[in-house]
């Protein structure tokens, strides 16, 4: 049994297939396994709570895991250790979520492209057809993650408290969420996964795109992301497209295309969930 895994900070999707790519179990979903913000003990606890994973853990021969927080060495090793302990008979590969986005969005295995993730978090890399290049090391949601779900959640809450929202939007926002200051601070500073907590507010933005305030908020975040991340690859952008993966990107395609026209880069493919492309890639390349 081969497990192909696509994990954000909020949720983690697992697909179990045989070596020919035939799906063996219903798609499994657990909480996100971001090793940059979760301890090994917490990761193990999440794994053990999944009945399908626990019942089949000894049958797994390979785990191909792509996830948020896996772009630096120490978190990667932490997660690999937890997975190896849980799946004792498996070969474990852990790689950053950007590679999942690459495999899911490129049109051919050797296509060069700038590939972006806009989901709970955000990232951007250049894939030259064989090697991934990053010029900015991610410092996580507190300092980076422009145009991500947690970025927009933070902006919405700030605008609400600074009275920058139009009154009708403010009323609708307060009606949908618990915006009590103590409750917000409890979730941000006392609970795990504050980035995922912030990202849940982005749904409001997606559902209210008929508002000029929301459209301007979305474009402002994308401009910031493009200037800080995409435009670091100015030379490459002369010849390659920019592909996008993640829910924020998928639901904000019009705004991304508008900003791309402003800043003169070519938009390529959009993929909401990369995992299907990952299954095909790994079953085709498994020896």
Question: Who's near 280: CB < 8 A, 6+ residues apart?
Answer: 21
Compute the distance between CA of residue 277 and CA of residue 205 in angstroms, rounded to an integer: 28
List pLDDT tens digits, range 135-156. Answer: 888 888 889 999 999 999 999 9
Question: Who's near 185: CB < 8 A, 6+ residues apart?
Answer: none
Domain tally for the chain? Answer: 1
Average pLDDT over every residue of 109-131: 93
The answer to whether residue 157 is domain-embedded is no
List pLDDT tens digits, range 56-109. Answer: 999 999 999 999 888 888 999 999 999 999 999 999 999 988 888 898 899 888
Q: Higher confidence at residue 285 or residue 96?
A: 96
Instruction: Print the domain residue range for 23.
Output: 2-100+274-285
Is it the case that residue 281 has pLDDT exceeding 90? no
Contact 66, 102 (CB under 8 A): no
Pairing of strands 91-96, 62-67: parallel
The answer to whether residue 210 is domain-embedded is no
The answer to whether residue 45 is domain-embedded is yes
Q: What is the pLDDT of residue 286?
A: 67
The Cβ-side half-sphere exposure at 77, using a 13 Å CA radius, reads 3
User: pTM for the whole thing?
Assistant: 0.80
Is it the case that residue 276 has pLDDT exceeding 80? no
The answer to whether residue 116 is domain-embedded is no
Is it the case that residue 175 has pLDDT exceeding 70? yes
Nearest residue to 281 via CA among 121, 126, 142, 93: 93
Q: What is the pLDDT of residue 152?
A: 98
Q: What is the pLDDT of residue 161?
A: 98
132-133 sheet: strands from edge to edge: 132-133, 122-127, 113-118, 242-245, 267-271
Q: Which range, of 180-189, 200-209, 246-255, 276-285, averages the lowest pLDDT? A: 276-285
The answer to whether residue 34 is domain-embedded is yes
List pLDDT tens digits, range 104-114. Answer: 899 888 999 99
Nearest residue to 68 via CA among 143, 16, 131, 5: 5
Q: CATH code at 58?
A: 3.30.420.40
The answer to whether residue 211 is domain-embedded is no
Q: What is the pLDDT of residue 287?
A: 58
Is it the case that residue 9 has pLDDT exceeding 90? no
The answer to whether residue 151 is domain-embedded is no
Name the percent of the chain lying above pLDDT 90: 78
Q: Which range, of 35-44, 92-101, 183-192, 198-207, averages the lowest pLDDT? A: 92-101
Compute the distance between CA of residue 56 and CA of residue 33 in angstroms, rounded to an integer: 19
Coil, helix or strand for 54? Answer: helix
Task: Give the pLDDT band of residue 223 (cuts 50, 70, 90).
Answer: very high
The answer to whether residue 74 is domain-embedded is yes
């Amino acid at each position: 049994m081969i497990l192909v895994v696509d994990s954000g900070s909020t949720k983690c999707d697992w697909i179990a297939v045989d070596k020919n790519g035939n799906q063996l179990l219903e798609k499994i979903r657990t909480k996100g396994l971001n090793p940059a913000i979760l301890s090994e003990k917490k990761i193990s606890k999440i794994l053990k709570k999944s009945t399908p994973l626990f019942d089949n853990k000894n049958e797994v021969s390979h785990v191909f895991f792509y996830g948020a927080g896996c772009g630096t060495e120490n978190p990667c090793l932490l997660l690999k250790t937890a997975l190896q302990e849980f799946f004792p008979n498996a070969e474990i590969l852990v790689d950053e979520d950007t590679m999942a986005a690459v495999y899911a969005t490129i049109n051919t295995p050797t296509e060069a492209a700038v590939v972006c993730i806009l989901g709970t978090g955000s990232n951007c890399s250049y894939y030259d057809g064989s090697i991934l290049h990053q010029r900015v090391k991610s410092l996580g949601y507190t300092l980076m993650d422009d145009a991500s779900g947690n970025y927009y959640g933070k902006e919405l809450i700030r605008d609400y408290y600074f009275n920058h929202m139009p009154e009708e939007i403010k009323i609708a926002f307060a009606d949908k969420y618990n915006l009590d200051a103590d409750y917000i601070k409890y979730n941000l500073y006392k609970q795990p996964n504050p980035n995922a907590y912030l990202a849940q507010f982005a749904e409001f933005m997606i559902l209210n795109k008929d508002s000029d305030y929301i459209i301007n908020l979305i474009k402002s975040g994308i401009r910031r992301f493009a200037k800080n991340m995409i435009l670091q690859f100015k030379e490459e952008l002369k010849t390659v497209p920019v592909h996008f993966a993640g829910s924020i990107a998928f639901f904000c395609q019009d705004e991304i295309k508008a900003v791309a026209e402003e800043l003169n880069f070519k938009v390529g493919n959009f993929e909401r969930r990369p995992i299907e492309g990952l299954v095909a890639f790994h079953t085709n390349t498994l020896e």
